[in-house]
């Protein structure tokens, strides 16, 4: 039941090779966390999965579909991959509800009334039923990020990508976002998460992949990576996080 297969992916920007042969697989329902120093290629790896960035060689398959096959429709692919960004990326001139209905109506062609109903359900799921008519500026960072998650979920993706979803938040707001992510994991969503939140990784991750200078130097379940890291780079990095 492989949902995502990443095989020997290479990517350069100019003469800087940013991904140097990255391979890993996720089964449906898996939650994998990608950790590693700034500049190690984490965001680039995520962006290659939905072709916001193009790979140079190797291959990526989503639910059996070759992401880089010329026959593959990029727009259809992107509907299957939800993405949550560090800086929320909400439309400032739209309410929380409208931020969610927009994609449903424009991309999926869902009629207005049904889009509103579905968006309201997704807002309720992230605990924001009462904020449907609020604009992003009226919401806390944690609430904005929960709208971002609800917006991605509303498209009913097969895979959710999170790129440091809590790192722009004040510390006291991290918990509510992590809670929503943990809930999503428990409901069986397949999630690939770039995050250094040890609490989330420990409690929700099936596997952690440690990326260093464009290579996965170590992969394994949290207890193994946190307690018995095999590589000095992993152990140095994790020590720095505590």
- For residues 168 and 141, is the Cβ–Cβ distance under 8 A? yes
Question: Total residues at the site for ligand ADP (CB under 6 A)?
Answer: 10
- Picked from Mg ion, ligand ADP, none, the partner binding residue 147 (CB below 5 to 8 A depending on kind) is none
At 82, phi and psi to the nearest 5? -85, 145
CB count within 10 Å of CB 169 equals: 21
C-beta of 161: minimal distance to ligand ADP in Å?
Answer: 12
**38 or 242: CB nearest ligand ADP:** 38
Neighbours of 89 (CB within 10 A): 14
| Token duo for residue 33 | 């966390």
Least distance (Å) between residue 39 CB and Mg ion = 8
| CA pair distance 77, 223, nearest whole angstrom | 33
Instruction: Give the chain's count of helices (H) and strands (E).
Output: 9, 10
Instruction: Give the x-and-dash track for 1-30 against ligand ADP (CB under 6 A).
Output: ------------x----x------------
User: Which token pair is 84?
Assistant: 């949550």
Q: Which does 157 bind (CB under 5 to 8 A by kind): Mg ion, ligand ADP, none?
A: none
Give which of Mg ion, ligand ADP, none residue 131 binds (C-beta under 5 to 8 Å, depending on kind).
none
**Residue 228, Cβ neighbours under 10 Å: how many?**
10
Site string for ligand ADP, 42-71 (x = CB under 6 A): xxx---------------------------
Q: Enumerate binding residues for ligand ADP (CB under 6 A).
A: 13, 18, 36, 38-44
């Amino acid at each position: 039941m492989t949902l995502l297969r990443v095989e020997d992916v290479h990517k350069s920007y100019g003469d800087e090779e940013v991904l140097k042969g990255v391979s890993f697989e996720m089964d449906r329902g898996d939650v994998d966390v990608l950790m590693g120093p700034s500049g190690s290629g984490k965001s680039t790896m995520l962006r290659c999965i939905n072709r916001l960035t193009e790979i140079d060689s190797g291959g990526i398959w989503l639910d059996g579909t070759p992401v880089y096959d010329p026959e593959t429709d990029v727009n259809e692919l992107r509907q299957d991959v939800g993405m949550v960004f560090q800086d929320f990326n909400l439309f400032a001139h739209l309410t929380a509800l409208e931020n969610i209905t927009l994609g449903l109506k424009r991309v999926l062609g869902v009629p207005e009334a049904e889009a509103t109903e579905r968006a309201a359900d997704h807002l309720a799921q992230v605990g924001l039923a009462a904020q449907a008519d609020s604009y992003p500026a009226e919401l806390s960072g944690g609430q904005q990020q929960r709208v971002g998650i609800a917006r991605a979920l509303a498209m009913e993706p097969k895979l959710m990508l999170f790129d440091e979803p809590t790192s722009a938040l004040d510390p006291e707001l991290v918990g509510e976002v992590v809670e929503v992510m943990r809930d999503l994991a428990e409901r069986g969503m397949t999630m690939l998460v770039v995050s250094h939140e040890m609490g989330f990784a420990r409690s929700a991750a099936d596997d952690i992949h440690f990326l260093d200078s464009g290579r996965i130097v170590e992969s394994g379940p949290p207890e193994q990576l946190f307690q018995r890291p095999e590589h000095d780079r992993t152990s140095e990095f994790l020590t720095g996080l505590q």
